[in-house]
Structure 1
Amino acid sequence: MRYRVRHLTEYVYGAPVTLCYNMAHLLPRDTGNQTCLSRRLHVTPMPIYQTEGTDYFGNPTYYFSIQEPHKKLTIDVECLYEVTPLELANQLTLGSITCGELRQLLTDAGTPELRMVKEYLLNSPLIPRTAELAAFAQDTFADHVPVLQAALDFTHKIFNEFTFDPTATSVSTPVDQVLKEKRGVCQDFAHLAIACIRSVGLPARYISGYLETLPPPGQEKLVGADASHAWFAIYIPEMGWVEFDPTNDLMPSDQHIVTAWGRDYSDVTPLQGVIFDGGDSQNIKVSVDVQRC
């Protein structure tokens, strides 16, 4: 399957910004079933300095600096992807290791790979481990349950017990509030799943990207109506990192497009940086289009 993804971000400031330094996680990342065939990135005003790099987690990064006064900043990224469907049926037959066995493997951590995986057991800036979170997940991730089955069941649990509500949270809403109110968006559900999984001693990471959405039957797809998406992955030794989408109660295959992964959203924020001046207010508008080619 081929997808063309356009991600347009516009900032409008209350007063001119005289200087800005930024880092973006908007460039494509290749994965085991995803390849970027082409890409285009355009920033307005023209940066005086720009360079690409790779962050600690292997995600492509784009750094740029603008040193002329501007009241509007536009970052326009367009990429063409080739996405190969994952063999989910084969994955379901591979996941035999139990939660208890994985916890013991991580305690021993006898290989470099397992030692690196242990990083995803720790607290991260937006995801703490707590007894309350562990209590919510401990029955699902009991020692005798295969990790893959537990992750599937927990994805289903979040989907059934939580309500998608874009007005209930913000990017900084803590996971304990999401657990209490049982409302949120894809970022909240991914953070909650990761927080619970880590709280029961298993490794999980945050994934940011895009999801192909389809209009209701008989209606045309609106330009700019798509959005960024978030889901999570859990580590299973014989399988590697296996992905789950609790917002949609499924295992991603060929409709999810990965941009970046890390410990939580703070590691893969689409744009972060420093501005000088700009007044007391700023408005941001994000438009995303995911189209099959």
Structure 2
Amino acid sequence: MRYRCRHVTRYDYGDDVPVSHHLVHLRPRPHPRQRVQSFALRVTPSTALTADHDDHFGNPVSYVAVQEPHRRLTIVAESEVEVSASPILDLEETPAWEDLVGAPGDAATVAQFAFNSTLVTATPNLADFARSSFGEGRPVAVAALDLMRRIHRDFTFDPTATTVTTPLAEVLQKRRGVCQDFAHLLVGGLRSMGLAARYVSGYLRTLPPPGQPRLVGADVSHAWVSVWCGGETWLDLCPTNGQIADRDYITVAWGRDYDDVSPVRGIIVGGAGHGLTVSVDVEPIED
């Protein structure tokens, strides 16, 4: 499946900002199932300085610096991506979850995702919540899928319930939140059982209601989870929609939690407050 993605971020400031510096995770990440055919990043003011590199997790990152007074910063990322179907994984044939607890794997790609991170800390409450999915000897993929389905069933999607700073313990208590919260909850539950799990940021193709036109800019950034199933096998799970992530999911970056892969983050001088507008559009490309 091929997609054309457009992500527009606009900051409007109440006063002049003489200097601003930003790190941008907006270039989709290539991986065995995803090929990035093109990418362009446009920044206004046009005098902005940009530089590209890969972060610790192998995600493409752009550095953006504006060193002249400005009251608006606009970052437009446009990409074309091809996503292939995942190889068929026999969930019942994955290792027992206990066999992967503390298993080192490749330290660069596995072990770092088993530890606490800025926004996700394994706690007894998270372990208590997750434990019923992890019966003795249960295959890790089956157990993780069960935990994901419980989150989807028992938690309510509510964009007014949380912010990016809401603690995970509060999400667990309120049983409400958005995709970032549910991804953090699944990551936290898996790590509390000693397993490695990474937070994935990207886009999800959405379809309009029957009979209604597709609205340009109405899509949003999305978040889901990838759990390590031994060897080089990772299984992507979407607790928000209660399903295994498939070709409708476009990966931008992965890390330990949202703090590692936020689309745009930075530091500004001055500005007297700001307003933020984000528009995302994911359009299938017909062959």
Normalising by structure 2, report the TM-score: 0.96
SS of 1:259's partner is strand
**Aligned partner letter, 1:117:** V
The one-character-per-residue Cα deviations of 1:266-290 (angstroms, maximum 9, x if unpaired) are 00011111111101x2100000000
| Aligned-residue offset at 1:142 | 2.9
| Aligned-residue offset at 1:47 | 3.8
For 1:101, the equivalent position in structure 2 comes to 99
Runs of 4+ in 1 over 3 A off after TM superposition: none
Alpha-carbon distance in structure 2 between the residues aligned to 1:184 and 1:47 = 39
The one-character-per-residue Cα deviations of 1:81-100 (angstroms, maximum 9, x if unpaired) are 1111223xx21257431111
**Aligned partner letter, 1:31:** H
Q: Are the equivalent residues in 1 in contact too, given 2:92–2:139 (CA < 8 A)?
A: no
Alignment of 1:176-195 (within 5 A): 176-195=169-188
The one-character-per-residue Cα deviations of 1:23-55 (angstroms, maximum 9, x if unpaired) are 100112111111111122100002442110000
**Aligned partner letter, 1:247:** T
The one-character-per-residue Cα deviations of 1:69-124 (angstroms, maximum 9, x if unpaired) are 1100000011011111223xx21257431111112xx25x3x5x157522111110
Q: Are the equivalent residues in 2 in contact too, given 1:101–1:143 (CA < 8 A)?
A: no
Pick aligned residue for 1:122 from 115, 121, 125: 115
1:233 aligns with 2:233: no
For 1:258, the equivalent position in structure 2 comes to 251
Alpha-carbon distance in structure 1 between the residues aligned to 2:28 and 2:147 = 29
Alpha-carbon distance in structure 1 between the residues aligned to 2:138 and 2:163 = 34
For 2:166, the equivalent position in structure 1 comes to 173
How many residue pairs get aligned? The number is 285
Alpha-carbon distance in structure 1 between the residues aligned to 2:109 and 2:26 = 25
In the alignment, structure 1 segments of 5+ residues that lack a partner are none
Q: Which of the two has greater helix per residue?
A: 1
**Aligned partner letter, 1:283:** G
SS of 2:135's partner is coil
Aligned-CA RMSD value = 1.4
The one-character-per-residue Cα deviations of 1:201-233 (angstroms, maximum 9, x if unpaired) are 111110000000000001001111000000001
